[in-house]
Amino acid sequence: QGGNNAGHTVVVDSVEYDFHLLPSGIINPKVTAFIGNGVVIHLPGLFEEAEKNLKKGRGLEGWEKRLIISDRAHIVFDFHQAADGIQEQQRQEQAGKKRKTNKNLSEAILPSRFKVLANQYKAIYPTLEIDIEGELKKLKGCVERIKPMVRDGVYFMYEALHGPPKKILVEGANAALLDIDFGTYPFVTSSNCTVGGVCTGLGMPPQNVGEVYGVVKAYTTRVGIGAFPTEQNNEIGELLQTRGKEFGVTTGRKRRCGWLDLVLLRYAYMINGFTALALTKLDILDVFPEIKVGVAYKLDGEIIPHFPANQEVLNKVEVQYETLPGWDMDISNARTFDELPVNAQNYVRFIEMELGVPVKWIGVGKSRESMIQLF
C-alpha cells in the first residue's frame, strides 16, 4: 500500500539498502517480487531507487527479471507531487505546521490523457509549472522498461495461491496508526496499512491470510505532528533518537521518540489480530537504568479501555506507566534468548503478557544476523 513516500532500511551482509517502492524481497535472487494494485508508482522514482541500491551491493542484480507489477497499480506524476506541495504550503500557512503526506493520484501514460490531466491541474493551481513535453519524453523511456514487468495482478496472485505450494510473504509499508480508516486521523496516509490492505491492495481473499506478524520497536516513534502520549520531549527522547538513528528514510526528518505505548499496541492488535510479534531495536534501550512502559490511558482521572479516535482527546490523556529495571549492558551480540540479560528477558515477557501475543523475533541490531528467533 501507499507509494514511495514510505521507506524501509534493510541491512543484508553489512550492506544497507533503502527501499521505497521495491519490495524488500527483491534482494533475494530466488524471490519473485510483486507490487500490487494498492501502490501508487512514480516511474522515474522506481528506476532511481533501483540504480541507487545497485551501487551498494550485488543483491539487486537482475532485479527487473524478478519484479512483477500489477496492471491495476496507479501512476503518480511529478505534477501531482508539485500540486501536493502547493496544497501542503497552503495548509501550513493555515495551521503553521508540517506533516508527512502522500503525493499521489493516478492516470495512464497516454500523451492525450496526460495532457488533459496536466492542464486540469494547471487550471486548479495557477502557480503550477508543468513541462508537458519534457515530462512525456522522460516517461517514454520508463514505459519501455516497465512494460515487460506489468501483468494482470489478480490472476497472478490467484495462480500463486492455487498452484504448487509457495511461501508468500506480504510486506506492509506504513504503520497501523497511519491507516486512513483506523489511524490517528488526519495525520494518516491515503491507504489501508492494516492487515485489510492484504485483501484490498493485493486482491487476496481473507481466507488465504495465515500468520499475521506485527513489527514493533522496543520504544515508540512518530514522524511529524500528531498526538503522541508517551513522547519524551527531553533527554530520554533525545537519547532514543540518537541511539536509534531515528530519521525518516524518505524525509530525513528526525522522528519523535518515547516509551513503548501498550495502549497503542493493543489497539493495533484489535484491528490486525497478530499471531506473533517481531520486537526490534531492543539494543537501543541498553543504556537506560530503568525503562518505562505505557500501560493505560486516563481521561479525567478515569482509565479508558479504548484508544481514542479523536486527536483532541488523545492530546488530553494521561499515561499510566509501569517502570521496569534496565539491563545496563550491550546486548547486540546476543543470538539466543538465553544470552539476553534477565532484565531484557523480563521486558520481552512483560510485553507478551500484557498483550497476550507471543514475541517470535527480537532485534538486537541492524543486520539479519542480529535477529533472535524464539520459536
Q: Name all domains of the chain by residue range, CATH numbers in brackets.
A: 1-171 (no CATH), 211-373 (3.90.170.10)
Q: Is 213 exposed, middle or buried (0-12, 13-18, 19+ CB in 10 A)?
A: middle
Please give the pLDDT value at position 67: 96
Taking CA atoms, 233 is separated from 2, 254, 256, in Å, by 29, 13, 8
Please give the pLDDT value at position 173: 78
* Distance between CA atoms of residues 123 and 119, nearest Å: 6
pLDDT tens digits along 170-198 = 998 788 998 999 998 888 888 888 999 99
* Distance between CA atoms of residues 29 and 27, nearest Å: 6
Q: Which three cell numbers stand for residue 94?
A: 493555515
Size of the chain, expressed as the number of residues it contains: 375
What b-and-e string marks burial along 38-59, b requiring 16 or more CB atoms within 10 Å of the CB?
Answer: bbbbbbebbbebbeebeeeeeb
CB atoms within 10 A of CB 76: 23
Q: Residue 96: pLDDT band by 50, 70, 90 thresholds? A: low
Average pLDDT over residues 299-328: 94
pLDDT tens digits along 207-230 = 999 999 999 999 999 988 889 999
Average pLDDT over residues 124-128: 87
Evaluate whether 245 touches 292 at the Cβ level (below 8 Å): no
Please give the pLDDT value at position 95: 61
Q: Residue 97: pLDDT band by 50, 70, 90 thresholds? A: low
Q: What percentage of residues in the chain have a pLDDT greater than 90?
A: 58
* Distance between CA atoms of residues 247 and 221, nearest Å: 10
Please give the pLDDT value at position 109: 54
Please give the model's pTM, rounded to 2 decimal places: 0.85
Distance, C-alpha 163 to centroid of its chain: 30
Please give the pLDDT value at position 107: 39
